[in-house]
Amino acid sequence: MADTIASANRIARDPQGRITAATAIGMNALKPIMRFQVSMLRMWADSIERFAGNYEKGLEETATAVEEQSGKGRAAQ
């Protein structure tokens, strides 16, 4: 504990140390925000993949239905 206080006092006296300490505090504050943004991007990407899969499945079903209808039309002729 005393070592931590000594380090903090040394940093506080050194102007460059103050900048370093302020930067470290700012970066630590940004970590949760960045993690949240990454999780939102992952959810967004998963939603797009699900949408693409459903869209592709719908296209396949439509193509199958069209082929069946054209096959019935040919059989009737």
Q: Which residue has the higher pLDDT, 6 or 64?
A: 64
The answer to whether residue 72 scores a pLDDT higher than 80 is: no
What six digits make up the tokens of 64?
A: 């199958």
Instruction: Report the alpha-carbon distance of residue 59 to residue 72 in Å, rounded.
Output: 20
pLDDT of amino acid 73:
63
pLDDT of residue 20: 79
- The tokens for 59 are 């296209």
Number of domains in the chain: 1
Ramachandran quadrant class, 14 (left: phi over 0; alpha: psi -120 to 50; beta: rest): beta
The predicted pLDDT at position 41 comes to 97
Instruction: Please compute Rg for the chain using Cα positions.
Output: 31
Q: What angle do CA 54, 56, 62 make, to 5 degrees?
A: 100
Structural domain harbouring 6 = 2-76
pLDDT tens digits along 33-60: 999 999 999 999 999 999 999 999 998 8
Provide mean pLDDT across the span 63-77. 74
